[in-house]
Chains A and B, each alone.
Chain A
Amino acid sequence: MKNILWTLALCAAVTAQAETVYVTLEKDNALAVVDPIAGKLTKTVPVGQRPRGIAISPDNKFLYIATSDDDTIKIIDAETLEEVGRLPSGEDPETFAVSPDGSLMFVSNEDDSQVTVIDVQERKAIKEIKVGVEPEGIAASPNGRWVISASETTNMLHWIDTESLAIVDNTLVDPRPRALSFTADSKFVWATSEMAGTLTILDAETRQIIKNIKLEVPGVTFDKIQPVGVAIDKDNRWGYVALGPANRVAVINAKTYEVEKFLLVGERVWNLAFSPDQKRLYTTNGVSNDISIIDLASHKVTKSVGVGRYPWGVVAKP
């Protein structure tokens, strides 16, 4: 009897923790589906040519996947993994941001130096906004006020007003800005600069830079420290920055902006995603073809899971 209860309790625990992690595989033209609790790759499905950016709809029903060489963003049913539609993203979509209410999508078109705004419901492009050369990272503020597009070769953050869908300000940052993220309260923006090895923190109210952090890892030459993905927890306690070929994730105190720790993950770590409960962080490691799972309570890497060739983007669903 005791045994049965124990098993039941265990089952309940497992169900409560059920979670799915989706990883785009740039070179395999596929999507990897991972069970992060078991630490296992559960399946791999073909998804289109050169899949990179990935996001999940606010209701967790649909995945959006930028299949760059198909020049589209596919809408995939998160349960069946069937394609249910396509969005007119413009050419060579790589990264995109979804507005907090899920109605609009903002897509970086690297080759055309523009951001395409898509009405998700209508599946229609409603505006093209000219930005700097090679726009890459893009983020929407949780309060719906801003979308910021980072252009890699122009080295600027372009502040797009979501009412007028026009640029109202530009901030020059360090060379090759790659990714950015708002804090959950929409007050601050963290932006990484790949070539300079820096993290810039901006005040979203004044649109001014308040802090620039040079990321330095003991024993690694400066030119290998190439920050890309950035994620900040919802309590604004810790921020995490993927350092590319330095093969580490920097753990940064979001109050003091001190770098407290470096976690060794796989090779050429690029993008990051939290588990829905924010107990874990997932990293895509492009060269070692795996993802790392970081336990956030202990700040320790607990597991790496081989997923396929060139894992690029990652997202988790409860």
Chain B
Amino acid sequence: MIVRSLLLGISMLSLTVFVAQAEQKQEIEIVYFTQEKIAPPALSNLDPFIKDKGELGAELAIDDNNTTGQFTGQLYKLNKIIVPIDGDVAQEFNDKIAGKFSFVVANLPVDDLLKIIDANQPEQTLIFDTGTTDDSLRQRCGADVLHILPSRAMRADALAQYLLKKRWTKWFLVTGASDEDKLFAAAIKRSAKRFGMKIVAEKAWDHTYDARRTAQSDVPVFTQGVDYDILIVADEQGLFGEYLDYRTWIPRPVVGTQGLIATSWHRTHEQWGAVQIQNRFKEQKGRWMEEADYGAYLAIRAVGEAATRTQSSQLNDIKPYLLSDKLTLQGYKGRPLSFRIWNGQLRQPLLLAAPRSLVAVAPIEGFLHPKTELDTLGYDQPETKCK
């Protein structure tokens, strides 16, 4: 009898807890922070300019978090702050975000991101960087910023692992004129050294406006007189890279920023449940999920995963969980994702994708690591000064 009344007491207690949860939901507000973009010059009209790259990924993640939240008594809110083209990003951050929100997903270029990092109080706001691939940013030690997208070094290593597997070891590197192109080329050179590849030729592609220059006549001459296995192009904006394939002097494939690319997300990716999120995204948003969408999605899902596990909405609980080895974030790529605690980089598999076919997923089998093979991509802890 005593046992029975005790049991009744317990079940009533749990009922009260449940009711309290239903009435008073834990609120978790996440800011999506970006700046409007102008359509960049493009080689063709095939790929339309997408204004809301990233934003729609954030929306889907909030929905997914809330589907879970209905069972855990947590409510997620997305607060979009989009700076106009002529606006000042640092100013907006100080006015609208600093000290007011715990979680900010920043889809910004390097310069703007650095400004808000400088202005930020890390104990008040955790910044998720979903806009940069810059390695120097990731050399700032500590994890006051979490970088979601793979760095250029990670991308170059992913390509290098595959090229080594194919024994395509003689590389011809073509670099565009922008600073970003030079950084990508530097990452390629680092990978070449790391995996014992040989850069047999290196040329800069300059953009001149001579009317006699056409892709058909230019590229063969440009690539003539070198014996190489593979042409590697560094053209992050896509100003000339697409011209190279099928136009080289000797028949050689193109990889790098065009041709076969290394990316964290691609529309050809279907394995490990990816087809489900591709379908969900396309059905709800009317276009393919882009890498920037995937980045914003993962950032917000990471907050959701930590909030579910810790049953908390507080930065003090969520951030340590994100940086612990307990985090096993599901990213539709067949391995649990987690953060490198020494620099806040998300460790993840990279997709090696051709425009219409997924060629391989790095880390490529056979590249071993004592802790996790994912750390064969990019700067590993011993290569940094970080502790």
Contact = CB atoms under 8 A, between A and B. Distances in A.
B68 A154 contact: yes
A152 B280 contact: no
Interface in B301-322: 301, 305, 308-309
Contacts of A196: 328, 336
A12 interface: no
Most chain A beta-carbon neighbours within 10 Å: one of B64, B279, B280, B336: B336
Interface in A205-246: 221-224, 226, 245
Interface residues of B, number: 24
B87 interface: no
A153 B335 contact: no
A195 B68 contact: no
A132 B273 CA distance: 15
Contacts of A154: 64, 67-68, 71
Contacts of B67: 113, 132-133, 154
B330 A153 contact: yes
B363 to A, nearest CB: 10
A143 B72 CA distance: 29
A113 B308 CA distance: 18
A175 interface: yes
A176 interface: yes
Given A111-B279, A172-B308, A175-B329, A156 B336 contact: no
Contacts of B179: none
Given A152-B273, A152-B330, A170-B71, A195 B336 contact: yes
B95 interface: no
Nearest to B14: A169
A172 B71 CA distance: 9
Contact of A110 (B276, B301, B309, B328): B276
B68 A155 contact: yes
Nearest to A286: B271
Contacts of B72: 172
A290 interface: no
A220 to B, nearest CB: 11
Interface string A119-156: 00000000000001110000000000000000111111
20 contacts: A110-B276, A113-B67, A132-B71, A134-B273, A134-B276, A152-B330, A153-B301, A154-B64, A154-B67, A154-B71, A156-B68, A175-B305, A175-B328, A175-B329, A175-B330, A195-B328, A196-B336, A223-B336, A223-B372, A245-B334
Given A132-B67, A133-B67, A134-B276, 10 more contacts: A110-B276, A132-B71, A153-B64, A156-B71, A158-B71, A175-B328, A195-B330, A195-B335, A221-B369, A226-B334
Interface of B: 64, 67-68, 71-72, 273, 276, 279-280, 283, 301, 305, 308-309, 328-330, 334-336, 369, 372-374
